Amino acid sequence: MSKTRDLYITEVALRDGSHAIAHQYTVDQVLSVAKALDEAGVPYIEVAHGDGLAGSSLQYGFSRTDEMKLIEAAVSVCSQAKIAVLLLPGIGTLKELKEAAALGAKMARVATHVTEADVSPQHISMAKELGMETVGFLMMAHMAPVEKLVEQAKLMESYGADIVYVVDSAGALLPYEVKERIHALKQHLGVEIGFHGHNNLSLAMANTLAAIEAGATRIDGSIRCLGAGAGNTQTEVLIAVLERMGIQTGIDLYQMMDLAEDIVAPILQAPQEITRDSLTMGYAGIYSSFLLHAKRAAERFGIDSRDILLELGRRKVVGGQEDMIVDVAAEIASKTEIATR
């Protein structure tokens, strides 16, 4: 297949997919997946804890393997793909960013809540100083009006971001909402625009196509849909759809299909599908990485996980507030107990 590309895909299963397997990636798994992705022609492969650099913690979930070892492993088997890392200011620091760059990571994706771009200038600036391609990643994009999104994206551009992403962290956006957001950023920014979707409402593919139609040229996907919540836009399916549309990705479809079936599927702890919990997350607008945390809290307190997720949605809880999950579960359990006396 020709390496001509009309847009660039970043494969996120080795980062976003970490949520789905409770951050239990091994070096051998990363080696096999990254090598196959590289051979298939994927241009960018994101590797990190699900919550980004330094995410391994009691708050977010401990990694089985130090993420720097995983980054180093991925770099070692890639001849053409660039390894990307995610950094959430307040979780990851400049120290981890420098360490990842020293190991060979070539792209830094600096992620903030959609209204908090102003916490990212030093991280974006440092990534540029380190010679990394730098992405501004505006998470939970459904929680801000278009005008606010544009304002925050322009801040990231002013800090030096080469690309700015609309990130549908909850899988809550509808296609027309994606289109208007991408279109607005294309109108007001001079950098490339990207889109990262989740499939909690079964709209990841539709939203991704809406983003491309509106002008996005950087797109995220996860092989075998391996990502938080109900997963992301399924990369191998996306490539097939784009080929049908005459859009070139430079990625070999057969190799991606084989990778999904033979290497990634055995890693999955359960099939990536839209369950009652992931559907509730999209419906309530909840951060997709809350899924396993909410399930555990529901089991601990003997309540319905959907009640936890809906209450979190009412409180407009965002990424970084995982500690609220247990608090909300305890409150619901207490009220339930009182009501049944």
Whole-prediction pTM: 0.93
Residues 6+ apart with CB under 8 A from 249: 5, 6, 7, 9, 41, 239, 242, 243
Lowest mean pLDDT among 59-63, 275-279, 280-284, 303-307: 59-63
Residue 284 CA to residue 225 CA, distance in Å, equals: 21
Summarize the confidence of residues 277-304 as an average pLDDT: 91
Tell me the average pLDDT across 331-336. 87
DSSP 48: S
Tokens of 291: 């899924």
Cα–Cα distance for residue pair 319/290, rounded to 1 Å: 8
- Which DSSP letter does residue 81 get? P
- Mean pLDDT value across residues 323-329: 91
Question: Is 165 labelled a binding residue?
Answer: no
**pLDDT tens readout for residues 93-149:** 999 999 999 999 999 999 999 999 999 999 999 999 999 999 999 999 999 999 999
| Closest to 91 in 3D by CA, of 77, 110, 75, 108 | 110
Asked if 312 and 306 touch (Cβ cutoff 8 Å), the reply is: no
Q: What is the tens place of the pLDDT at every residue in 236-267?
A: 999 999 999 999 999 999 999 999 999 999 99
Span 41-90, pLDDT tens digits? 999 999 999 999 999 988 888 999 999 999 999 999 999 999 999 999 99
Architecture (CATH level 2) of domain 283-339: Orthogonal Bundle (1.10)
Question: For residue 320, what pLDDT is reported?
Answer: 77
Helix, strand, or coil here: 90? coil
Strand runs labelled E in 155-222? 163-167, 192-196, 218-221
User: Structurally, what CATH architecture does the domain formed by 8-267 represent?
Assistant: Alpha-Beta Barrel (3.20)
Residue 15 marked as a ligand binder = yes
Scan for tokens 């903030």, then name that residue.
112
The phi and psi torsions of 334 (rounded to 5 degrees) equal -65, -45
At residue 1 the predicted structure's pLDDT band, cuts being 50, 70 and 90, is: very low
49 known member of a binding site = no
Q: CA–CA separation, 106 vs 127, rounded Å? A: 9
Q: What angle do CA 246, 250, 252 make, to 5 degrees?
A: 95
Return the active site residues: 19
Q: Which helix (H) or strand (E) holds 325?
A: helix 323-339
Mean pLDDT, the chain, rounded, equals: 95
| Model confidence band, residue 270 (pLDDT cutoffs 50, 70, 90) | confident
From CA 277, how far away is CA 281, in angstroms rounded? 6
Mean pLDDT of 267-290: 91
In this predicted structure, what is the pLDDT of residue 301?
A: 94
pLDDT tens for 186-195 read 999 999 999 9
Residue 306 pLDDT > 80, yes or no? yes
Nearest by Cα to 32 from 83, 1, 78 = 78
Give the torsion sign (CA, 303, 327, 170, 90).
Answer: negative
Residue 159's H or E segment, with its range, is: helix 146-159
How do residues 9-46 score in pLDDT, each as one tens digit?
Answer: 999 999 999 999 999 999 999 999 999 999 999 999 99
Cβ pair 136, 161 in contact under 8 A: yes
276 marked as binding residue: no
Same fold, 8-267 and 283-339: no
Tokens standing for residue 201: 């409402």
What's CA 296's distance to the chain center, in Å?
22
The per-residue pLDDT for 283 is 95
Which of residues 89 and 270 earns the better pLDDT score? Answer: 89
Q: At what angle do helices 204-214 and 175-188 cross, to 10 degrees?
A: 30
Rounded to whole angstroms, the Cα distance separating 176 from 317 reads 24
Q: Given this model, what pLDDT does residue 2 score?
A: 41
Domain boundaries, the chain: 8-267, 283-339
pLDDT at 341 over 70: no
User: Is 16 annotated to bind ligand?
Assistant: yes
Q: Between 317 and 213, name the one with better pLDDT.
A: 213
**Share above pLDDT 90 across residues of the chain, in percent, rounded to a whole number:** 88
According to the annotation, is 287 in a ligand binding site?
yes
